[in-house]
């Protein structure tokens, strides 16, 4: 019986890993490969193309605070995962038939795909897995978040090959069908909390006195209203938003930048794979560190290092080995940032209302995600300088790290033993 409980909890980690790979690989990294062929054929500007990402992010932002409390209910995450599979898969597959009508593009890729930003990887990392794990939380989130690193490792090369062979329309359709075929069945496996199944976090057993004594204790769970009254909530929201703004802004321009500096589309795509190797492998290192050091301090260090790793982008030139090395190092640095945020929120505010609290942060994150690509590509269009565009990303990450420094835990976060519902 004990083995089955452990297996079920860690099976959710595997689900989170796969969903994360599709969310970042198909939903973010692969998108930049469509910029040049679609704008050339359909006559759109780059800001017009990236506007669809803005629409998707804004729609998700409006839905986040409403859907957040639903994610804390017994069947909420499973329903949201179903909706995510349908919105991501259909939203991309339908683009095979798009014409140059920009409004239709915004409706399909913007509105139809909006739930992808709420009910996929972010939901698993911020509202589901922290409820299933306490003692092993850092390890579980580290493994699940490695899917975000696996996404750029696999999808850019896959999509680039299809675009080169059959064109961008068939690439969208293949990406959508693959997302639907994988994510829809996984939806049946999602469960909100171990208590809903008569279990305890970390696979502990009610009848196991040793496990109960060894179980890590947590402080009380804050409601959404209580969390809003804590300065640390707002500081974490600002920090996460700036991190996301720079992350999405850089990643949606990454492959365009390297193609314009002289690399072919397949070689540029391989840089994303190198990033994915670094990002994927670093999750386990950062997860190990999070079990031994304060996640808050690790997030500050990781954010500052990540900002510094943007500098070598400007000195790659036509050196392909250097391109791969720089991409790998950037992935190694960035990997830890995406682990620490859900750890901090869960550690600061408890397990019971994570969906509602994360949903309340969603509008800030959404605005950042929506504006990131427009800021980066807009600065480039305005100045014709990637130094300015990517320099803005570095500034966002530096301010993000400074915000975390001041985000101390709530003053009344006192330990209290975990109990089953």
Do residues 279 and 331 make contact, with C-beta atoms less than 8 angstroms apart?
Answer: yes
| Integer Cα distance of 353 and 221 in angstroms | 7
Q: pLDDT, tens digit, for every residue of 215-238?
A: 444 556 888 889 999 999 999 999
Domain locations along the chain: 2-201+208-409
| Integer Cα distance of 332 and 410 in angstroms | 31
Do residues 190 and 82 make contact, with C-beta atoms less than 8 angstroms apart?
Answer: no
What string of DSSP letters covers 407-419? -PPPTT--EE---
Closest CA to 254 of 15, 34, 32, 414: 32
pTM of the model: 0.77
Strand partners, 320: none
Per-residue pLDDT of the chain (421 residues; tens, 9 = 90+): 344 455 567 888 989 899 888 887 777 778 878 988 999 999 998 888 888 878 887 887 788 888 888 988 888 899 999 988 888 888 899 999 999 899 999 988 888 777 777 778 888 888 899 888 888 888 888 888 888 777 877 788 888 889 989 999 999 999 999 999 999 999 988 888 888 777 788 877 654 444 444 444 455 688 888 999 999 999 999 999 999 899 888 887 888 888 888 888 888 888 888 888 888 888 888 888 887 888 889 899 989 999 999 999 888 888 899 999 999 999 888 877 778 888 888 888 988 888 889 888 888 887 887 788 889 988 998 998 999 999 999 999 999 999 999 988 886 554 433 333 3
CATH of 2-201+208-409, one of 3.40.50.720, 2.40.100.10, 3.40.630.10, 1.20.1250.20: 1.20.1250.20
Alpha-carbon distances, residue 260 vs 272, 313, 322 (angstroms): 15, 13, 17
Instruction: Read off the DSSP letter of residue 218.
Output: E
Q: pLDDT, tens digit, for every residue of 41-55?
A: 999 988 888 888 788
Beta strand pairing status for 218-219 and 415-416? antiparallel
């Amino acid at each position: 019986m004990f083995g089955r409980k452990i297996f079920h909890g860690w099976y959710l980690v595997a689900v989170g890993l796969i969903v994360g790979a599709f969310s970042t690989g198909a939903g973010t990294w692969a998108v930049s490969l469509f910029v040049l062929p679609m704008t050339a054929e359909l006559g759109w500007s780059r800001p017009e193309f990236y506007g669809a990402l803005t629409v998707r992010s804004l729609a998700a932002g409006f839905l986040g605070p409403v859907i957040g409390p639903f994610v804390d209910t017994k069947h909420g995450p499973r329903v949201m995962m179903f909706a995510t599979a349908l919105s991501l898969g259909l939203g991309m597959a339908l683009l095979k038939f798009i014409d140059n009508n920009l409004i239709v593009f915004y409706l399909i890729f913007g509105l139809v795909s909006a739930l992808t930003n709420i009910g996929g990887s972010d939901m698993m990392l911020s509202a589901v897995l922290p409820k299933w794990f306490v003692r092993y939380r850092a390890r579980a989130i580290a493994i699940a978040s490695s899917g975000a690193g696996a996404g750029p490792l696999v999808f850019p090369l896959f999509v680039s090959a299809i675009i080169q062979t059959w064109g961008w329309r068939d690439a969208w359709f293949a990406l959508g069908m693959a997302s639907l075929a994988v994510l829809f069945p996984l939806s049946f496996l999602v469960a909100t909390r171990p208590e809903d199944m008569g279990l305890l976090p970390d696979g502990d057993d009610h009848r196991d006195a040793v496990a109960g004594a060894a179980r890590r204790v947590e402080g009380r769970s804050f409601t959404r209203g209580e969390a809003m009254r804590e300065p640390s909530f707002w500081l974490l929201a600002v920090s996460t938003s700036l991190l996301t703004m720079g992350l999405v802004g850089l990643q949606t321009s990454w492959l365009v930048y390297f193609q314009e500096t002289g690399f072919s589309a397949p070689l540029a795509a391989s840089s994303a794979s190198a990033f994915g190797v670094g990002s994927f492998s670093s999750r386990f290192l950062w997860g190990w560190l999070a079990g031994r050091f304060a996640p808050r301090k690790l997030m500050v260090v990781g954010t500052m290092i990540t900002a510094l790793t943007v500098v070598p982008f400007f000195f790659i030139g036509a050196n392909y080995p250097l391109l791969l090395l720089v991409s790998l190092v950037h992935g190694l640095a960035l990997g830890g940032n995406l682990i620490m945020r859900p750890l901090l929120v869960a550690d600061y505010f408890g397990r019971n209302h994570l969906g509602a609290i994360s949903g309340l942060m969603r509008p800030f994150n959404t605005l950042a995600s929506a504006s990131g690509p427009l800021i980066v590509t807009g600065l480039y269009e305005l100045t014709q300088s990637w130094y300015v565009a990517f320099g803005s990303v570095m500034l966002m990450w530096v301010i993000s790290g400074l915000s975390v420094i001041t985000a101390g835990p709530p003053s009344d976060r006192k330990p209290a033993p975990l109990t089953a519902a």
